[in-house]
Amino acid sequence: MTNQVTMNGPGDPKLHFVFVPFLAQGHMLPMIDVAQLLAKRGVLATVIITPFNASRIKNTIDRAAKAGLPIRFVPLRFPCAEVGLPEGCENVDVVPTAELAKNFFEATGLLGKPLETYLREQQQPYPSCMVSDFCNPWTREVASRLGVPLFTFYPMCSFFLLGMHNILHSSIHDAIADETEPFVVPGLAHKIEVTKARTPELFPGTEWEKIREGIKAADRAADGIVVNSFSELEPWYLERYQEVVEKKVWALGPLSLCNKDAADMANRGKKASVDKDRCLRWLDSMKPRSVVYVSFGSLTHVAPSQIIDVGAGLEASNHPFIWVIKEIENSPEVERWMSGAFERRTSARGLIIKGWAPQLMILSHPAVGGFITHCGWNSSLEAISAGVPMITWPFFGDQFLNERLIVDVLRTGIMAGVKDPWMWGTVSNEVSVRRDDVEKAVRSLMDVGDQERELRRERATELGEKARKAVEEGGSSYVNMTLLIEYVRNKLHHSCNPLGS
Ligand code: UDP
Q: Residue 443: is its pLDDT beyond 70?
A: yes
Residue 451 inside a domain? The answer is yes
Range of the domain at 327: 270-468
As a whole number, the mean pLDDT across the chain is: 93
**Does any ligand 1 atom lie closer than 6 A to the CB of residue 390?**
no
In Å, how far from its chain's centre is CA 208?
A: 22
- CA distances 180 to 28, 77, 168, 197, Å, are 33, 44, 17, 6
DSSP 8-state class, residue 154? E
Alpha carbon distance 320, 318 (integer Å) = 7
Residue 408 inside a domain? The answer is yes
Pocket test for ligand 1, best of 255, 298, 301 (most atoms within 8 A of CB): 298
Same domain, yes or no: 63 and 177: yes
- CA distances 315 to 104, 284, 308, 350, 463, Å, are 39, 21, 11, 9, 30
Query: How many H-runs (helices) and E-runs (strands) does the chain carry?
Result: 21, 15
State residue 424's pLDDT score: 78
Same domain, yes or no: 233 and 279: no
Confidence of residue 10 (pLDDT cuts 50, 70, 90): very low
Ligand 1 center–CA 333 separation, angstroms:
25
- List 152's β-bridge partners, or say none: 132, 225
**Does any ligand 1 atom lie closer than 6 A to the CB of residue 125?**
no
Residue type, 401: L
Same domain, yes or no: 20 and 105: yes
Pocket test for ligand 1, best of 22, 23, 25, 29 (most atoms within 8 A of CB): 25
Ligand 1 center–CA 357 separation, angstroms:
9
Alpha carbon distance 91, 3 (integer Å) = 22
| Closest atom of ligand 1 relative to the 377 alpha carbon | 19
Q: With pLDDT > 70 as the criterion, what percentage of the chain qualifies?
A: 96
Same domain, yes or no: 82 and 231: yes
Residue 177 inside a domain? The answer is yes
**Does any ligand 1 atom lie closer than 6 A to the CB of residue 259?**
no
Residue 499 inside a domain? The answer is no
Same domain, yes or no: 10 and 138: yes
- CA distances 463 to 210, 375, 389, 406, 471, Å, are 39, 17, 10, 11, 13
Same domain, yes or no: 155 and 284: no
Residue 501 inside a domain? The answer is no
| Closest atom of ligand 1 relative to the 155 alpha carbon | 19
**Does any ligand 1 atom lie closer than 6 A to the CB of residue 359?**
yes
Q: Residue 422 sits in a domain of what CATH number?
A: 3.40.50.2000
State residue 95's pLDDT score: 94
Summarize the confidence of residues 141-149 as an average pLDDT.
Answer: 97
Same domain, yes or no: 464 and 435: yes
Same domain, yes or no: 305 and 180: no
Residue 500 inside a domain? The answer is no
**Does any ligand 1 atom lie closer than 6 A to the CB of residue 269?**
yes
Q: Residue 8: is its pLDDT beyond 60?
A: no
**Does any ligand 1 atom lie closer than 6 A to the CB of residue 26?**
yes
Contact 233, 384 (CB under 8 A): yes
Same domain, yes or no: 385 and 483: no
Residue 109 inside a domain? The answer is yes
Greater pLDDT, 290 or 123: 290
**Does any ligand 1 atom lie closer than 6 A to the CB of residue 25?**
yes
**Does any ligand 1 atom lie closer than 6 A to the CB of residue 353?**
no
**Span 83-126, pLDDT tens digits:** 999 999 999 999 999 899 999 999 999 999 999 999 999 867 99
Same domain, yes or no: 143 and 287: no
Contact 158, 249 (CB under 8 A): yes
DSSP string, 14-25: --EEEEE--SSH
Ligand 1 center–CA 376 separation, angstroms:
7
pTM value is 0.96
Q: Residue 135: is its pLDDT beyond 70?
A: yes
Which residue's alpha carbon is nearest to atom 6 within ligand 1?
297
Contact 257, 468 (CB under 8 A): yes
Same domain, yes or no: 243 and 307: no
Nearest of 471, 445, 440, 316 to residue 388 by alpha carbon = 445
Q: Residue 439: is its pLDDT beyond 60?
A: yes
How many domains, the chain?
A: 2
Residue 265 inside a domain? The answer is no
- List 20's β-bridge partners, or say none: 132
Same domain, yes or no: 48 and 192: yes
